[in-house]
Structure formats: structure tokens, C-alpha cells
Amino acid sequence: MKAFKNLVCSILLAVSLPAFADAKWDMPTGYPISNFHTENIQRFIAEADKAAGRKLKITIHPAGSLFKANEIKRAVQGGQAQIGEIIISGFSNEDPLYGVDSIPFLATSYQDAAKLWKASKEAIDQRFARQGMKLLYTVPWPPQGIFSTKPISSVDNIKGKKWRAYNPQTSRIAELVGAQPVTIPAAELAQALATGAVEVFMTSAATGYDSKVWEQVKYYYDVRAWLPKNAVIVNQQAFDALSKTEQEAILKAAAAAEQRGWKLSEEKNTWYLDQLTKNGMKVEMPSPQLTAEFRKVGDIMIAEWSKQSGADGQQVLSTYRK
Ligand code: PCA
């Protein structure tokens, strides 16, 4: 009897859902469905919908399937997608403030990344607001290291190599170390490796795992140079069109997703690193020389950023360093 009742309930629910769902949103993301960011988003969606009384139907479109990663911000701004996930630093050509979390060796631990986010949140919120969007929450990627098909003990080993970049900072690093940068979204990394278009790149163990890079790439240097953040952003008009209950449901689910996501990123990083080893990769600390050379790159980039980012940037740096 209970099973029958449940069945009737779910049929009724299934039939009645579309009629009650007063917001149907599309949510493009750039990363695969099993990535920890995407899993976190799926929980965010489920919680927001539940708290809104099943009135928010948000459909996730992962791995650049609806919009490519670099198109998502504009799609949300223009309302082609109501909500989406982006990597903030991917847009630092628009405004240097978007790139603060991707300056090498400015913030290299979860604790410092959180401190930097606290120091930069207001300025970054303002920038999205000026563009007609609202930032709902951020979650960092695990610390960024160097993946390479060949062993690397100094910057000399990287010179002239095909270097995959995912934001302006990773392109700039390539220039500074004399590699050849080519921008490739995460969703296309495995393919680029398979065709030999990429020999070396910086990213997290998470993306290394997602892209099964061990098929071509044998070395990972755990440099921990920065923790770039993804942000979930919403079109402000779409948000304003919701009822108060729905808005509150989204904000509450977003706050929970931010907390959960930061923890998940840190906890899963160890697991991701283990998977690299298990799949035959050498996971090592960088040599002292490589570390020193990359630190120099970081110093140059901090100086460049300080200049480009003006008074707001100075403010962020001084608050962060306090
Ligand atoms: N993965 C994403 C961004 C940073 C990361 O760890 C990528 O490689 O595109």
C-alpha cells in the first residue's frame, strides 16, 4: 500500500511539477558533471529548489555543452542563461580585479585563499553588479601545480614547449618562462593532449584527474602556486523576477554551497593527488631551482598586477596583507 501511495505521489508530482515551476533556468558550466564543483552545484540546485517549494527548475549544462566556458559570463549578462558558473580569473582582461586569485604565490593555501577572497569580495561583487549580475558564491580549485610530459627541474626544461593556458595569468606565465601559450578550456584538454597540441600546463590535480591526463602526462610538480576560484553568477533581472521566498531559497543554498565547496575542494585534493599516483604518474615537489624561478615569475606578476589594478587593487592587497 505504501509503495502504491508513493508511486501515486510521484506520478502526481511529476505531472504537477511543470505547472508549478514558475522559474525555469538554464545553468551552463565549463566543467564535467563528475567534477567536485559540478557536484556541489547539483546539491545547490536541489537545496534551492526544495527551499523554494519546488518552484525553481534549474537545468545544469556541464562541460561547455550549452555555452563554452569563456562565453558563459556574457550569456548570463545578456540573459541567454539566467545563471551560470565561471572561473573568475578567466575574465581578468576585462578588469584586473577578476584576476587577483591567479597571481602566482600571492595566496597559496586554503587559508590564505579565503583571506584573499574576504579582502577582494566587495570589489568583485561590485564589478559583477555593474555588469547586471549578482555573484552568488565562490569555490576555489585546489592549488595549481605543473603537469608535464617530460621531467622538469628548471625553467630551461619548459622553454619553447607547447603550454596550455586557461586564463590570462597562465598565458602570461608561459611568456615569462619562454613557453608557447595556447588557450584551451578544460573541456578540451584531454583532446588537446591526445593530439600532441600540449606538453606542459598548470592546473589542479582535480582537472588532471577529470581529463585523465596520465595517458600522455607522467609528471606532476606540486608547486601550489595559487587557488583560482569559480563563481556562480546570476542575471540580476532574472533574480529580481523571483518571489521573495525563491530569492531567499537561492541565497541560503548559495551560502551553504560556498561553505561546503571550500571544504570539499580541500578534502578532495588529497584524493585527486592519490589518483594521479595510482594511475602511474610521478607526483613530486618541484626542485629548489624550479621553485625559485617560478617565485620570480610570481614577483613580476604581482608587480604588474599592482600597477594595472589601481586604487581598488591597492586596497585589496593592503587588506589582504594586514
Ligand atoms: N582547473 C581549471 C581551472 C583551474 C583548475 O584547477 C582548468 O584547468 O581549466
pLDDT level of residue 16 (50, 70, 90 thresholds): very low
pTM of the model: 0.93
* Distance of CA 4 from the midpoint of ligand 1 (Å): 47
Distance between Cα 30 and ligand 1 center (Å):
10
CATH no. for 22-321: 3.40.190.170
Least confident of 21-35, 88-102, 226-240, 254-268: 21-35
Residue pair 180/165 in contact by the 8 Å Cβ criterion: no
Does position 76 have pLDDT exceeding 70, yes or no? Answer: yes
Q: Using a 6 Å cutoff on CB, does residue 141 contact ligand 1?
A: yes
Instruction: Tell me: pLDDT of 187 over 70.
Output: yes
Q: Residues 6 or more apart from 141 whose CB is under 8 A from it?
A: 37, 87, 203, 204, 206, 207, 227, 228, 229, 230, 265
For the cut 50, the answer to whether the pLDDT of residue 171 exceeds it is yes
pLDDT band at 238 (very low <50, low <70, confident <90, very high): very high
CB 147 less than 6 A from any atom of ligand 1: no
Rounded to an integer, the average pLDDT of 260-276 is 98
Question: Among the atoms of ligand 1, which is closest to the Cα of residue 210?
Answer: 1
Mean pLDDT for the stretch of residues 185-205: 98
**Nearest atom, ligand 1, residue 69 CA:** 9
Cell of 277: 599516483
The per-residue pLDDT for 4 is 55
Confidence band for 22, pLDDT divided at 50, 70 and 90: confident
The rounded distance, in Å, linking the Cα atoms of 7 and 235 is: 37
Instruction: For ligand 1, say whether the CB of 203 is within 6 Å of any of its atoms.
Output: yes
Question: What pLDDT is stored for residue 2 in this prediction?
Answer: 53
Mean pLDDT, residues 283-295 taken together: 98
pLDDT band at 18 (very low <50, low <70, confident <90, very high): very low
- Is the CB of residue 317 below 6 angstroms from any atom belonging to ligand 1? no
Q: Residue 297's CB: how many other CB atoms inside 10 A?
A: 19
* Distance in Å, CA 131 to ligand 1 centroid: 24
